[in-house]
């Protein structure tokens, strides 16, 4: 089936009791058993929930995967993936990842003896050189948050497969609509479904998707054993939202393209990062592995003072953490989303005090461009 047909239907069928076309919100913690051990496949809602199952199947289908394993946040999904490892195992991670991802790796899992090497995974040789006999997992964000750097998924898979190392791609920025890493042979895709997948800024959630039976079984085990599961109401909202994912992504991207085209020639902007611009150093790679460029644009305004003035002068773009919702957001990575990354590392990555990240929403294109024009004039 096509993406939109799957988005509307996959994982869902009319309720057998009533014919209700929408999957009910099974707001229950437990399920009555006929006899001890005789039940309908549902025992307890940490372990199984029908609304969650429908959502997991739906997103797995959109991501071209067999199994979807949902969690209560993107970080809960990422943490459960790291819990597949043992003490002493080594992870290679893209040097620029969401600040919270770096924080949980660096402060929580390191404490339990998992070793992390951060490197610029956009260079194949860097991945090859970081591999040790203990390397069990390579975690890549592509495009990265907030620098929009790409890693070649093909290169990643070719290096990792040769050494039997598990590959994980955080696909949050692209959503399953613009990029499907499993189709390149990646083992696991992870999303913060808080972002484009839900898209309405009213749910925090995460999901891992895989085609690998063994990895799936281990993650379902962890989902139940550790227990970072999403509630049924949140699953219902996400399931409702994926029905319009394709429509939203097209609109997000149209607006982002227009805004990037305008911003790239503006004299107040020192540097712009958007994979859809031909000036982006990896524009050709973007065309190859993504079917669109998404709607996150980062701009360097040269100083903290300029960044503050700009962000605080915007009227439609709201000053807030997060991204991927229908409403446009602006944020300052160094002080907000990436504050937990040490300053010298941030600066080496390009996350300067002048850097601003825009999450372009689905409002009218002209209104967004005009909002940015008036805010740039305040600098």
Site residues for ligand P1T per CB under 6 A: 73-75, 98, 100-101, 141, 145, 170, 172, 192, 194, 204, 206, 321-323, 337
Considering the complex, state which of residue 130 and residue 169 has its C-beta at the smaller distance from ligand P1T.
Answer: 169
In the complex, minimum distance from the CB of residue 227 to ligand P1T, in angstroms, rounded to a whole number = 16
HSE-up (13 A, CA, CB side) for residue 75: 12
In the complex, minimum distance from the CB of residue 216 to ligand P1T, in angstroms, rounded to a whole number = 20
Q: List the catalytic residues.
A: 46, 98, 170, 195
Considering the complex, state which of residue 117 and residue 322 has its C-beta at the smaller distance from ligand P1T.
Answer: 322
Distance CA 193, CA 271 (A): 29
In the complex, minimum distance from the CB of residue 191 to ligand P1T, in angstroms, rounded to a whole number = 8
Considering the complex, state which of residue 75 and residue 362 has its C-beta at the smaller distance from ligand P1T.
Answer: 75
In the complex, minimum distance from the CB of residue 172 to ligand P1T, in angstroms, rounded to a whole number = 4
Q: Give alpha helix (H) positions in 15-140.
A: 50-62, 74-82, 99-103, 124-130
Considering the complex, state which of residue 159 and residue 204 has its C-beta at the smaller distance from ligand P1T.
Answer: 204
Q: Is the peptide bond before 143 cis (omega within 30 degrees of 0)?
A: yes
Distance CA 4, CA 36 (A): 42
In the complex, minimum distance from the CB of residue 132 to ligand P1T, in angstroms, rounded to a whole number = 25
Task: Give which of 323, 350, 320 is closest to 336, Cα–Cα.
Answer: 320
Spatial contact of 299 and 290, defined as CB atoms under 8 Å apart = no
Strand partners, 300: 271, 355
Task: Give which of 148, 219, 212 is closest to 186, Cα–Cα.
Answer: 212
The residues near 208 (Cβ < 8 Å, ≥ 6 apart) are 68, 69, 71, 77, 80, 81, 188, 189, 190, 219
Distance CA 367, CA 352 (A): 28
Give, as one character, the DSSP assignment of residue 112. Answer: G
In the complex, minimum distance from the CB of residue 104 to ligand P1T, in angstroms, rounded to a whole number = 9
Q: How are beta strands 90-94 and 135-141 bridged, if at all?
A: parallel
Distance CA 356, CA 11 (A): 38
Considering the complex, state which of residue 98 and residue 310 has its C-beta at the smaller distance from ligand P1T.
Answer: 98
Q: What angle do CA 143, 194, 256 make, to 5 degrees?
A: 50
In the complex, minimum distance from the CB of residue 197 to ligand P1T, in angstroms, rounded to a whole number = 10
H/E stretch holding 68: strand 67-71
Classify the C-alpha dihedral 120-121-124-130 as positive or negative.
Answer: positive
Considering the complex, state which of residue 326 and residue 379 has its C-beta at the smaller distance from ligand P1T.
Answer: 326
Task: Give which of 152, 146, 154 is closest to 172, Cα–Cα.
Answer: 146
Considering the complex, state which of residue 39 and residue 240 has its C-beta at the smaller distance from ligand P1T.
Answer: 240
């Amino acid at each position: 089936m096509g993406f939109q047909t799957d988005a509307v239907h996959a994982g869902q069928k009319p309720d057998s009791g009533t014919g209700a076309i929408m999957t009910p919100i099974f707001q229950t913690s437990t399920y009555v058993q006929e006899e001890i051990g005789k039940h309908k496949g549902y025992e307890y809602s940490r372990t199984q929930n029908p609304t969650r199952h429908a959502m997991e199947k739906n997103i797995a289908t959109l991501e071209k995967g067999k199994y979807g394993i949902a969690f209560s946040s993107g970080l809960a999904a990422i943490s459960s993936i790291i819990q597949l490892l043992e003490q002493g195992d080594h992870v290679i991670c893209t040097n620029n990842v969401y600040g919270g991802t770096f924080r949980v790796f660096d402060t929580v899992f390191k404490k339990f003896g998992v070793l992390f090497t951060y490197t610029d995974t956009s260079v194949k040789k860097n991945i090859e050189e970081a591999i040790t006999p203990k390397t069990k997992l390579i975690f890549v964000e592509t495009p990265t948050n907030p620098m929009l750097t790409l890693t070649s998924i093909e290169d990643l898979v070719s290096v990792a497969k040769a050494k039997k190392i598990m590959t994980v791609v955080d696909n949050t920025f692209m959503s399953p609509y613009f990029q499907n890493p499993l189709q390149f042979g990646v083992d696991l895709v992870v999303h913060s479904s808080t972002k484009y997948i839900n898209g309405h800024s009213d749910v925090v959630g995460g999901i891992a998707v895989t085609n690998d039976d063994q990895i799936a079984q281990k993650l379902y085990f962890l989902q139940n054993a550790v227990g970072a599961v999403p509630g049924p109401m949140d699953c219902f909202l996400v399931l409702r939202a994926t029905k319009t994912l394709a429509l939203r992504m097209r609109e997000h991207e149209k607006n982002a393209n227009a805004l990037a085209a305008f911003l790239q020639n503006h004299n107040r902007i020192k540097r712009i990062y958007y994979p859809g611009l031909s000036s982006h150093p990896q524009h050709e790679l973007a065309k190859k592995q993504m079917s669109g460029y998404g709607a996150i644009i980062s701009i360097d305004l040269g100083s903290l003072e300029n960044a503050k003035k700009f962000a605080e002068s915007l009227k439609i773009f709201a000053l807030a953490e997060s991204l991927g919702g229908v409403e446009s957001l602006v944020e300052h990575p160094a002080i907000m989303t990436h504050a937990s990354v040490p300053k010298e590392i941030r600066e080496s990555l390009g996350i300067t005090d002048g850097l601003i990240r825009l999450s372009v929403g689905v409002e009218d294109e002209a209104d967004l461009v005009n909002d940015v024009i008036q805010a740039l004039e305040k600098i």
